[in-house]
Structure 1
Amino acid sequence: MRKLQVQGVHHITLTGADRQTSLDFWEGVLGMPFIFDQPNLDNPDEGHLYFDPGDGRLITIFTNETRRAVHDRTPTDPGCVHHLAFAVSQATFEQAVERLDERGISHSGVKDRGFMNSIYFTEPMGLLIELASYVFEPPMGCSHADVLIEAHRLRVARGDHNIGRIHLADAIEMLVERRQDSLSSDRGPKNPY
Structure 2
Amino acid sequence: MELKGLHHVSAITAKAPENFNFYTQVLGLRLVKKTVNQDDTSVYHLFYGDEKGSPGTEVTFFEIPMAGRNREGNSSISALSLRVPSDAALEYWKNRLGQYGVDHGEIADRGGRRTLFFRDPEGQRFFLVSDENNQGVAGGHPWDKSPVPAEHAITGLGPAHLTVENAEPTATVLEQLLGFRRKGVYPSTVPGQPDVIVFETSEGGSGAEVHVEERNDLPAERLGRGGVHHVAFRVDNEEELKLWIERLRSASLPNSGFVDRFYFRSLYFREPGGILFELATDGPGFDTDEPADHLGESLALPPFLEPKRSQIEEMLKPLDTRQ
TM range (shorter): 0.5 to 0.7
1:124 equivalenced with 2:262 (yes/no) = no
Distance 1:75 1:30 in 2: 26
Residues 115, 163 of structure 1: 8 Å contact kept:
no
1:150 equivalenced with 2:291 (yes/no) = yes
Aligned partner letter, 2:163: T
Distance 2:153 2:300 in 1: 32
Aligned partner letter, 1:85: A
Structure with greater Cα Rg: 1
Residue 56 of structure 1 aligns with which residue?
205
Residues 51, 60 of structure 1: 8 Å contact kept:
yes
Q: 1:17 to 1:30 in 2, by over 3 A?
A: farther
Aligned partner letter, 2:224: D
Distance 2:153 2:189 in 1: 27
Q: Identity of paired residues, percent?
A: 24
Residue 169 of structure 1 aligns with which residue?
none
Q: Relative contact order (alpha carbons < 8 A, sep ≥ 6): 1 or 2 greater?
A: 2
- Aligned residue pairs: how many? 151
Q: Find the partner of 1:36 among 166, 184, 191.
A: 184
Residue 163 of structure 2 aligns with which residue?
15
Aligned partner letter, 2:277: I
Q: 1:96 to 1:151 in 2, by over 3 A?
A: farther
Q: Where do 4+ consecutive residues of structure 1 move more than 6 Å?
A: 145-149, 154-157
Residues 263, 288 of structure 2: 8 Å contact kept:
no
Aligned partner letter, 2:213: F
Residues 52, 59 of structure 1: 8 Å contact kept:
yes
Residues 287, 295 of structure 2: 8 Å contact kept:
no
Distance 2:270 2:283 in 1: 23
Residue 301 of structure 2 aligns with which residue?
161
Per-residue CA distance 1:121-171 (angstroms, 9 max, x = gap): 1111111111001344xxxxxxx67778636948978x862379xxxxxxx
Per-residue CA distance 1:61-102 (angstroms, 9 max, x = gap): 0125x59xxxx9x64422111110110122431212211111
Higher strand share: 2
Instruction: Report how far residue 35 of structure 1 moved.
Output: 0.6
Residues 40, 48 of structure 1: 8 Å contact kept:
yes
Aligned partner letter, 2:232: A
TM-score between the two structures when normalised by the length of structure 2: 0.40
SS in 2 for 1:27: helix
Residues 25, 123 of structure 1: 8 Å contact kept:
yes
| Structure 2: runs of 5+ lacking an equivalent | 1-98, 100-146, 305-323
Higher helix share: 1
Q: 1:112 to 1:5 in 2, by over 3 A?
A: same
Distance 2:293 2:282 in 1: 15
RMSD across aligned C-alpha pairs, in angstroms?
3.5
Q: Find the partner of 1:78 among 221, 225, 237.
A: 225
1:92 equivalenced with 2:240 (yes/no) = yes
Aligned partner letter, 1:130: E
Residues 151, 163 of structure 1: 8 Å contact kept:
no
TM-score between the two structures when normalised by the length of structure 1: 0.63
